[in-house]
Amino acid sequence: MTKRLPLAAALLSGLILGLAFPPVGQSDAAWFALVPLLLALKQATPRSGFRLGWSAGLVFWLGNLAWLWRLIDNGGPLPLVLLGHGALAAYCALYAGLFGLAVAWLWRQERLRNHPWLRVLMTVVVAPLLWAGSEWLRGTLLTGFAWNALGVSQYRNLTLIQGAAWGGMSLVSALLVAVNGGIACFLERLWFDVVVARRRPACGGGNGQPRRFAPRAVEMTLALLLVVVCWSHGLDRVRTLDRAIGAAPVWKLALLHPEAPSIFQQDDGTWEAAMELQRSYAQLAGAVGPDLCLWPETSLPGAGPLDADTLELASNITALAASPLLAGGLEIEPGPGWEWREGARYYNAAFLFDTQGRAVATYRKQHLVPFGEFIPLDRRFPWLARLSPIGYSCTPGAGSGIMTVAPQGDNGRAPLRVAPLICFEDTLPYLARRAARDGATLLANLTNDAWFDGSSEAEQHLAQAVFRCVETGLPMVRSSNRGVTCAILPNGRVVQRIGQGDGAGTPGILFAAPGVPARPAPTPFVRHGHLLLAWPGAALLLTVLLLAALDAWRKRHRPASARDGASRSGVSTG
């Protein structure tokens, strides 16, 4: 029975952690969700530590990624969707397993276990760094999947998440792990005092000596002090940015929210209706006189920017709205031969059209979704591209593709420098950071969440975008199809929104008027990236894993006489 308790604790951690994210969204659960797992890891071997971490991660990710099942309603074959869901959850859980292995191995080191201040350091510094490193590796390796880091659960807690301006979302994740570790240490000592010490009054001294007094909540106290410091700094930053945005030049933006069906649910009738909807909302936008219209991903009818239907629609919209248009669509770079499809390159792109409907700038999506927008190894084996759900594999773009929008009228405003982010690109810190370093003043996410309509995906997607604003100190606007269309301030405050992604939305247009500073001051995260936590954490994690592997190798190849001697002397070789 006792052998099953650690596994039960790990599974419980995965279940509680799932409650911290949408659709439940009880963010307070993240402050204690890892406590059962951390208690179990203190008594685990490295091998069982990996199993415990992986089990907790698997339970969390299976629930957290359940919105992938909505692909079944959009033409996804049931067996492939179930296989993809399980495989992605199992893969993401590997990083929690590596964290569990590293923590379990460290707790088995006698010097660390017996030194009180090393135990404090392990709880408040080392374990949080290991977690931050595991999240960074998950968001980087194999093209990266940075979805729902632990700190993202706090996206509504504006004061706390301002720490992301220094260390990215990894800093918020590390704070949560430190508090979880402090609670685990406190409960461990409480259990010892209430249960163990009463059964063995003289334990702890070894020779009948009374056990020395040790503060019962020193780790928890230190972790909470770190939280208070971040909260105090965050409160000041939230207020400062609110004042700065209030004094900044205002840009009038029209954000389309069409609620159009996914491509697998469209026919000629729905497509014509969608085009007519765009024209009608462009006419409505013209009454307001926006500085820029933003249309979501894949809203253009053909392969831009030279397709006749696309140019006609863009000309109509810009004429009706009397403003430039930033819209998402497909771009095709033909092959060199007569049969242009041979060697052609496809891009998921965003196009900026001027007030005459001419395409003046193009951004090509840099980070593509594996098995959605491209099939791995399709360049080496071209026939694999036919397995893509969209019928072809896209090619990644390069560079931020910052677009300059001149102000309407002579009002003294500096040109707006827009950095498009297409679809899930707003989940990746390095892309927003690169755009900020290249001089962007506004982030613009053009996305299409119709694939997952009726699930928690849209709200989870919004949570990632909030952190990009805090990290870069830039405002963001999002034009989404069947997701969340909104405006987000540089401190992460969502000031306007329409759409829930709940399957019951209605089309509309959001008129946002954010203040956009002409020269925003770069945050420490923009200047130094993940240097504070994520990179040191990843280096520490890899170092511990290497030491654990060497330790296991030495024990396995230790001479038999040494192992027998250790066994007879009572020394464990496990």
42 domain residue, yes or no: yes
Per-residue CA distances from 275 to 31, 253, 292, 509 (Å): 47, 20, 19, 14
Over residues 86-110, the pLDDT tens digits come to 999 999 999 999 999 999 999 999 9
383 domain residue, yes or no: no
Are 463 and 150 contacting, i.e. CB atoms less than 8 angstroms apart? no
Cα torsion angle, 125, 130, 131, 135, sign? positive
- Is the pLDDT at 574 greater than 50, yes or no? no
Both tokens of 341, joined, read 């499809």
Residue 38 CB-density burial (10 A; 0-12 exposed, 13-18 middle, 19+ buried): buried
Residues 420 and 450 both lie in one domain: yes
Residues 220 and 117 both lie in one domain: yes
Q: What does the pLDDT read at residue 200?
A: 62
Cβ partners under 8 Å of residue 288, min gap 6: 252, 254, 511
Both tokens of 551, joined, read 């330790």
Residues 260 and 216 both lie in one domain: no
Residues 166 and 297 both lie in one domain: no
556 domain residue, yes or no: no
Are 14 and 58 contacting, i.e. CB atoms less than 8 angstroms apart? yes
Instruction: Domain of residue 315: give its range.
Output: 252-362+401-516
Residues 181 and 326 both lie in one domain: no
- Chain centroid to Cα 452, Å, comes to 17
Across 100-111, b (16+ Cβ under 10 Å) vs e yields bbbbbbbbbeee
Total number of domains constituting the chain:
2
- Is the pLDDT at 207 greater than 50, yes or no? no
Residue in 192, 181, 174, 163 with CA at minimum distance from that of residue 218: 181
- Is the pLDDT at 531 greater than 60, yes or no? yes
- Strand-by-strand arrangement of the 476-481 sheet: 403-405, 416-422, 442-448, 476-481, 485-488, 494-498
Residues 239 and 259 both lie in one domain: no
Average pLDDT, the chain: 89
Over residues 445-468, the pLDDT tens digits come to 999 998 899 899 999 999 999 999
- Is the pLDDT at 570 greater than 70, yes or no? no
Both tokens of 459, joined, read 């709200």
Residues 272 and 156 both lie in one domain: no
457 domain residue, yes or no: yes
pLDDT more than 70, % of the chain: 90
DSSP codes of every residue in 520-565: PPPPHHHHHTTTTTHHHHHHHHHHHHHHHHHHHHHHHTS-HHHHHH
Predicted confidence band at 213 (pLDDT cuts at 50, 70, 90)? very low
Three-state SS for 105? helix
Residues 222 and 284 both lie in one domain: no
Q: What does the pLDDT read at residue 295?
A: 97
Both tokens of 97, joined, read 């397993």
Position 111, amino acid: R
521 domain residue, yes or no: no
Cα torsion angle, 517, 520, 523, 525, sign? positive
498 domain residue, yes or no: yes
Residues 314 and 438 both lie in one domain: yes
Residue in 310, 393, 288, 397 with CA at minimum distance from that of residue 359: 310
Are 512 and 487 contacting, i.e. CB atoms less than 8 angstroms apart? yes
Residue 416: which CATH number?
3.60.110.10
Both tokens of 249, joined, read 């030049």
Beta bridge partners of 496: 487
Residues 213 and 351 both lie in one domain: no
DSSP codes of every residue in 433-461: HHHHHTT-SEEEEEEE-GGGTTSSHHHHH
* Residue 417: CB atoms within 10 Å: 19
- Chain centroid to Cα 113, Å, comes to 34
323 domain residue, yes or no: yes
Cβ partners under 8 Å of residue 464, min gap 6: 146, 147, 148, 152, 426, 427
524 domain residue, yes or no: no
- Is the pLDDT at 547 greater than 90, yes or no? yes
Residues 239 and 136 both lie in one domain: yes
Tally of residues, the chain: 574
- Is the pLDDT at 266 greater than 90, yes or no? no
Residue in 312, 265, 259, 306 with CA at minimum distance from that of residue 281: 259
Over residues 63-72, the pLDDT tens digits come to 999 999 998 8
Residues 166 and 299 both lie in one domain: no
